[in-house]
Every structure is written in C-alpha cells, then in structure tokens.
Structure 1
Amino acid sequence: MSTSDERPGTGRRGLAAGTVKAALSALRQLVSGLGTAILALMVLLLLAVCTFTAPLGVGLLLAPGALRALHALAGLERTRLARWGPEVVAPEPPPTRLRAALTDPTTRRELQWLVRHASVGLLLGLLGFWLPLLAVRDTTFPLYWRFFPTDATATSIGIGTSSSWADALAVTLLGVGWIAIILGLAAAMARVQAAPGRLLLSAGPDTDLSLRIAELTATRAAALDAHATELRRIERALHDGSQNRIVSVSVLLGAARRMVARDPAGAEELLERAQSAAEQALADLRTVSRSILPPVLADRGLAGALTGLAAECAVPCRVDVDAPRRCAASVEATAYFVVAESLTNITKHSGARQATVTARLAGERLLLTITDDGHGGAVAPSVVTDPGGTGTGSGLAGINRRVAAHDGTLRLTSPPGGPTTVEVDLPCGS
C-alpha cells in the first residue's frame, strides 16, 4: 500500500505547506527588492538632476558620480537576484566617462532597468511590505475592535465602521482575502519584480565573457585540485591507519596460530590483541568513509547533521536551519564540510565564547552564515590568486576551494577584535 493510502491528506498538507513557504519566500524577495527599488528611485532622481543642470555645467560634473552609482546599484541587484534564483552573469565593467557611457550598450540597458525598477519594482515591493500588515490587521480585528470608537473606520481600505460583531467578522473576511491574495499572487509578483533585472542586467550575447571564462577556469582548476587533495587524504588515511592495523592483525593471528599448541595462554593474549587491532581498524575505516560523505546527511538531513556538529563543538553553538527541501548530495556535503571546518577553526584559533550557524534555502541558493565573537583577524585566500590553497589558514583555503568547485562564493568579515562572519553562497539547483 502506498504512503498516500496509509496517511490520507498527507499530499494535501504537503501542498499547503509548500504554498505557504513559497508565498513567504516571495514576500521576502519582494521586500528585498523594495530596498533596491528605493535606491533606484534615488539614483533616477540624481540622473534627472544631472540632465536638467547639464546646460549649466553642474550636471556634467555630477554625471560621473551618478554613473558610478548606477553601476554599483546594478551590481547590488545582480547579487540580490542571485540569492533568489540563477546567477545573473555581469558584463564587462561599463565606462563612467560621459561620452563613452552615452554609446555603451550596458549602460543603456542599466538605465532601462533603473526606470522599470524605480516604478514597477517599487510598487510591487511596497505591496510585498504592506499586504502582510493588512492581512494581520484585518484578520485579528475581532480581538481589539471593541476599543475602537463606534464611528471609526474599521477596515484597512478605509470602508466600514466597527459597531458590531457582524462588522468585525466582515473585516476578518477581508483579512482572509488579503491572505488569499498573498498565497495566490506573491510568487508571480516576485517574478515580475525580478524580470527586468534578469533581462537587462545580464550579459548580452555580444558581451565579452573573457573575465567570466577566466573565473570558471580557475574554479574548475580548484575543483580538480580539491578532488586530488581529497584522494590523497583518503589514501594517507587508509595507508597509515587502517592498512597498518590490518597488517598488525594478520601478524598477531599468525603468531597466535603457531603458539596455540605449545602456549594456549599466550595465544589467547595474542588473539585479544588481534581483536582489539581489528576493532580499531574498523573504527578507522568508518571514520574515513564518514569523511567522504557523512551518513548523517542521508539519515537526518542537513539540519540534523549541522545540529550534530554544533553539539560536538567545544564552543557553545546555536544552529538555525531553514531548508524545506533537500539539495544535491554534493552541495549538502560541501555545506557540512564548510560548517565542520569553520567550527574547528573557531575552536582552535578564535578564542570565541559562542558561535552561530545559520543555513537558508533561498530560491536555488543555499546560504550559510557562521559567526563567532572571537578576536577576528582571519583572512580568506582567493581561488584565482591562490589556487593551491596556500593562503593564510589552511582551513579557510580548503573551504574556499570546496565552495569554488561548486561555483559558489565565500565572503569573510573578520576585523581585528572580531566578530568573524563567514558567508557562503552555494548554487543548489532545482
């Protein structure tokens, strides 16, 4: 009998939970877009001032700064979109000289995006911010309507009065309507808000992608290097640990077989030593296999695996995981390695009193954040400039290579005196 037959309604409950989570994710995306839309409106006003004051000469002086602000905001929007879906590949850096910018196709595309995002994107971001507030206000209205004056406006849209329980329940139905709008339209609103950025801010077909090709070449080399390093580590662990213990077991068993007739007591002692060595070899093999792909990931998922790492950490560590669905096994293994290595670095080098691990699944990206309140001062090596991982801190170099192998990004903030924050962004596919 199928699982759905044994547990009626499980599929419907799963669909409802998925709809709610998708709507909440879309609201977060809309609100994040509201921030860049407000900045887009400010940059648009700055460009308008430059245009109108250009005949006086003032606009010509302000134009390079306004163009730099436009390019920086476009880069910020590309980063935001990458957190909620596929990466938006940036073209070559556009010029900031006024004459070159007027004929630059990338600048023109960014200007088109700016106008759309400052208008439609701003409106959708405001809706993403206000709709949940309206839904909460109207849905909970029966809890506080008695405190309103009898002639006060009851609903969030300015219609109706709070004079009876019937009016209060009517307002509640309006709140349910807001919730239905959120569940039904939030995802589409988020896609509409993001569409201009994905269309206009990505590299066009005529764009020179040499920088991106160089970056992918470096990450591919880092992936191969990480793979070779991992194979060498496994070979050393098997050769220096398990193989030596198995050889010891073989020698002890041979000696015990020769002694069993003439010295049974001595043979029994050798057999005990052989059993102990065999058990230790088995433990070593388990350790090696778990380091390749921790079985806890398959058994308990990413949340359970990270909770187990935090429980074993010598520094008190809090874990917060929001990953409603599973990622690819290689991505989860990389996330596990990143957290394990980071907690090891915190324990050995940071002098921290507490740490926090956060994992979020945002669209097609897995976002990891590891923070501690230690003394800081850590430096992350670059995959491009340090492909062999010889940068400061072998742990951070290993993390960087693993993340780069997935075409992810590592950001480290560790000022002297702390705190230290490691942010890892991994593409996890659909």
Structure 2
Amino acid sequence: MTIRRYLRHRAHVSVDALEHLVGGLGTALLALAALVALVAVAVSCAAGVGLLLAPSALRMVRAIADRERARLTRWGPEVIGPAPVPERLRAALRDAGVRRELGWVAVHATCGFVIGLLGLALPLYALQFLTFPLWYWLLPPEAGGPGIVYWRIDGLVDALAVGLMGVGWLAVVVGLGPGLARLQAWPGRRLLPPSAGTDLSLRVAQLTATRAAALDAHAAELRRIERSLHDGTQNRLVAVNVLLGAARRALARDPAVAADVLERAQDAAEQALAELRTVVRGILPPVLADRGLAAALTGLAGGSGVPCRVDVDVTGRCAVSVEATAYFVVAEALSNVAKHSGAATATVTVRRAGDRLLLRVDDDGHGGAAEADGSGIAGIRRRVEAYDGRFSLTSPPGGPTTLQVELPCGS
C-alpha cells in the first residue's frame, strides 16, 4: 500500500512538473517575442524613430510578466505584481520593477525557453522508446530506432531492447522533471516580485481587501442563516402553534378532528426540526467536528447527484475554520457539477503540503463554467480569499473542469 501510494505520488508530481514546464514554455515564447520587440525598439530608438514605441513595449513586457506571475502563483507562493508602469519613459526606465522585468524577459526568453523544450522533449523521447515495439515494423531495419538508436532493428527482440531503454528515459523524466520545473521558475520568483518595501505595502493593501471580503462573506453567511430560519423553520413553528390552538379548541367538540389536527401539527414540527438540522449542518456539519474532513467529504460525495470519488490524504487536523471552508468549497462545487456541468463523474482530491491545504475538484462535464454565470463560483472565491487562500478555475468549452483551492492551515 505504501509503495503504491509513493508511485501514485511520484506520477502526480511528474505530471504536475510537465504541466508546469509546458506553461513555462508558453510564457517563454511570449518573452522571446517581447525580447525581439525590445531589441527592435532599441535599434529604432538609436535611429531616433522608436521613442514613441518604447512605452508600449514596456507595457507589453508588464503584461507578459503578469501572466508569468499568475502562473507561478498557481504553482506555489503568491507572486505579487509591482506598481503600474510609469507613463513617462524616463521614469519607467528608472523604476526598479520595470528593470527587474526586463532582466526576467532576457533570462526567461533564453534559459526558460531551452528548459521548457528539454522538459517537453524528455517525455516525448520516453513515449517513443516505450511504444517502439508496437510500430517498429513500419520502418526498414536499417533505419534503426527512435532518437539516438542508430543500429539495425532485425526483429521484436531488438525492438523490445529499445523499449527497455524507454523505461530508463521514463526514470529520467520522473527524476529530472520537478527539478527542471523549479529551475525554469526560479528567475520569475527571483525577479518578478517587487522590492521589499513595495512588496510590504502591496501586501498590506491586499490583506486589507481580503479582510473586507471576510467581513462581507461573514455578513452574507448571517443573511443566509437568517433567511433560512425566517422562511423555513419559523413558518413551520408558527404553523405548529396554529394547529395546536385549533386542536385544543376542537378537543371538546370533535376529538376525531382534534386527533387529525394534532397529527398535522406533529408533521409540521418534524419538518421544522429537519430544516433546523439542515441550517445547523450548513453552519458546521457535526460529522466534520466529530470525524474529520475525510469523513465529511465522503458523506458529501455519497449524497452528490453525480458519482464522485474522494481521495483525502491529510495528516492531522487543520483549524476548524479551514476545514469548514474546505467543506463549503466541496459542497458548492459538487452542487454546481450536478446542476450545470452535465458530468458523468467527479473527483475530489485533498492533500496537505507543509502549511497549506490543497483541494481540487475535477469533473468530466462540458466545461464553460465562469464566475459571471451565477453558479456560486464567485461565492467560493470570496470565501477562499477571506481566509487568505488562493482559488483558480480551469473550464474550457468542452471540458473538463478543474477547480483548485489552496488554504493556509498552519505548520
């Protein structure tokens, strides 16, 4: 069991690293285009005709750097952007953030591009070698095998030997992939954050915004509870009171009618209790406090309208507020999957990485989910950001949809 879990973890890390490298290759291509544009603007400035293009080029660099910041934030600690680019060219060139971005463009367009190509080539090599025994017969024997294999392939035995080399390439991918991803990300993490003083002021502004969001989320939750109690439970209790009064008046005149009214009163009281339990579970599910996050999420998945698999690997307990937020996110996400996605299956994955709780909800639906469509995604984002967490949603048309949440949970 431990070996299987380790292999599954290594496979997950390797796929994660490959996705990171491919994303870095995309921003490296953009950085390469920006570097070419900057060189062209610099040459035209030397000729006296490019000064008008320089501010636009710097804003283009900022846009690409912001894209890289967003990518790095999805894969680790948040990278906060600096202040806006100054309008005047001289002030922009004196700005420390702009100079750091120019240095990042030069490094990422060259080293990041090469590392991205290498990270993409390694798994392709492994795939070629591993599958070679399936298609070697399409090549003439003297053509050799894929990649660096130049010797004659005379039959299945030779092809299987090449396939075994693919196992070695796969080991190289698993071993080097995460390191290459970290190496590719290092210039961005080193150069794209603002200087220490600026970073502190931006962080204070961000925390002020998230605390305001926390108050808004708290107020919205109180309104939801009040509305549930007022529209549901209170009306049921009023009905119980009216029915009991009617039963008391009918008791002397017609006991049979009184018995029927009492039965209706009992039904109304049971409905009121059920609605009250629902409200209480919405505040803090008892199973979450008693048995932990894994059991609570398993219960949610069992009641989902879409078949759902839950994979929770969290050692110890997180803070109650963090577990409640994770429970709310999964409950809202599974509700959206059942109502809007048209999915056949869903998967909930929860991991703990140091002092962060990582939560992911995948479905195989038709995609196209967006915060503006009124499906509750904006509420999930507000709830997560209120706890200084991070939220991302990937839902291309045609699917699949992936919702990822990262919450601080202490060390």
Q: If the length of structure 1 is used for normalisation, what is the TM-score?
A: 0.73
Report the Cα distance in structure 2 between the residues aligned to 1:166 and 1:399, rounded to whole angstroms. 56
Report the Cα distance in structure 1 between the residues aligned to 2:104 and 2:263, rounded to whole angstroms. 75
Q: Is 2:297 the counterpart of 1:301?
A: yes
1:272-351 to structure 2, matched below 5 A, reads: 272-293=263-284, 298-299=294-295, 301=297, 305=300, 311=306, 329=323, 330-337=325-332, 340=335
Which of 179, 183, 194 is the matching residue for 1:203? 194
Gaps of 5+ in 2: none
1:26-425 to structure 2, matched below 5 A, reads: 26-95=17-86, 97-207=88-198, 209-243=200-234, 245-246=236-237, 265=256, 268-293=259-284, 298-299=294-295, 301=297, 305=300, 311=306, 329=323, 330-337=325-332, 340=335, 380=372, 398=379, 401-407=382-388, 408=390
Q: Residue 358 and residue 301 in structure 1: after superposition, are their counterparts in 2 closer, same or farther (change >3 A)?
A: same
For 1:288, what is the secondary structure of its paired residue? helix
Q: Residue 396 and residue 135 in structure 1: after superposition, are their counterparts in 2 closer, same or farther (change >3 A)?
A: closer
Report the Cα distance in structure 1 between the residues aligned to 2:14 and 2:375, rounded to whole angstroms. 41
For 1:86, what is the secondary structure of its paired residue? coil
Q: Counterpart amino acid of 2:328?
A: A
Alpha-carbon offset, residue 412 of structure 1: 12
Alpha-carbon offset, residue 178 of structure 1: 1.0
Q: Counterpart amino acid of 1:202?
A: P
Deviations 1:13-69 (A, max 9, x none): 111111101101110110011001111112112222333343212443432222122
Report the Cα distance in structure 1 between the residues aligned to 2:61 and 2:149, rounded to whole angstroms. 39
Alpha-carbon offset, residue 137 of structure 1: 0.8
Which of 391, 395, 406 is the matching residue for 1:427? 406
Report the Cα distance in structure 2 between the residues aligned to 1:199 and 1:213, rounded to whole angstroms. 21
For 2:190, what is the secondary structure of its paired residue? helix
Moved more, 288-297 or 214-223: 288-297
Report the Cα distance in structure 1 between the residues aligned to 2:87 and 2:308, rounded to whole angstroms. 43
Q: Residue 41 and residue 358 in structure 1: after superposition, are their counterparts in 2 closer, same or farther (change >3 A)?
A: farther
Report the Cα distance in structure 2 between the residues aligned to 1:266 and 1:181, rounded to whole angstroms. 82
Q: Residue 66 and residue 276 in structure 1: after superposition, are their counterparts in 2 closer, same or farther (change >3 A)?
A: same
Q: Counterpart amino acid of 1:52?
A: V
For 2:60, what is the secondary structure of its paired residue? helix
Q: Percent identity?
A: 47
Deviations 1:251-288 (A, max 9, x none): 86798799989976456434423431232123212321
C-alpha contact 1:406 1:426 (8 A) present in aligned 2: no
Report the Cα distance in structure 1 between the residues aligned to 2:336 and 2:155, rounded to whole angstroms. 61
Gaps of 5+ in 1: 1-9, 312-318, 347-352, 381-391
C-alpha contact 2:384 2:407 (8 A) present in aligned 1: no
For 1:146, what is the secondary structure of its paired residue? helix
2:5 alignment counterpart: 14
For 2:215, what is the secondary structure of its paired residue? helix
Alpha-carbon offset, residue 145 of structure 1: 1.4
Q: Residue 42 and residue 82 in structure 1: after superposition, are their counterparts in 2 closer, same or farther (change >3 A)?
A: same
For 1:118, what is the secondary structure of its paired residue? helix
C-alpha contact 1:152 1:161 (8 A) present in aligned 2: yes
Q: Counterpart amino acid of 2:274?
A: A
Deviations 1:339-375 (A, max 9, x none): 647977x6xxxxxx9689988979976577999799x
Q: Counterpart amino acid of 2:160?
A: L
Structure with the bigger RCO (C-alpha within 8 Å, sep 6+) is 1
C-alpha contact 1:135 1:179 (8 A) present in aligned 2: yes
Q: Counterpart amino acid of 2:193?
A: S
Report the Cα distance in structure 2 between the residues aligned to 1:177 and 1:410, rounded to whole angstroms. 35
C-alpha contact 1:64 1:96 (8 A) present in aligned 2: yes
Q: Counterpart amino acid of 1:336?
A: A
Deviations 1:113-164 (A, max 9, x none): 2222122211221122112211111011111212211110313224333123
Q: Residue 81 and residue 12 in structure 1: after superposition, are their counterparts in 2 closer, same or farther (change >3 A)?
A: same
The root-mean-square deviation of aligned C-alpha atoms, in Å, is 4.4
Report the Cα distance in structure 2 between the residues aligned to 1:114 and 1:355, rounded to whole angstroms. 41
For 1:427, what is the secondary structure of its paired residue? strand
Report the Cα distance in structure 1 between the residues aligned to 2:8 and 2:97, rounded to whole angstroms. 41
The number of aligned residues is 388
Q: Counterpart amino acid of 2:331?
A: Y
Alpha-carbon offset, residue 425 of structure 1: 6.0
C-alpha contact 1:112 1:200 (8 A) present in aligned 2: yes
Report the Cα distance in structure 1 between the residues aligned to 2:36 and 2:346, rounded to whole angstroms. 38
Q: Residue 207 and residue 291 in structure 1: after superposition, are their counterparts in 2 closer, same or farther (change >3 A)?
A: same
C-alpha contact 2:193 2:199 (8 A) present in aligned 1: no
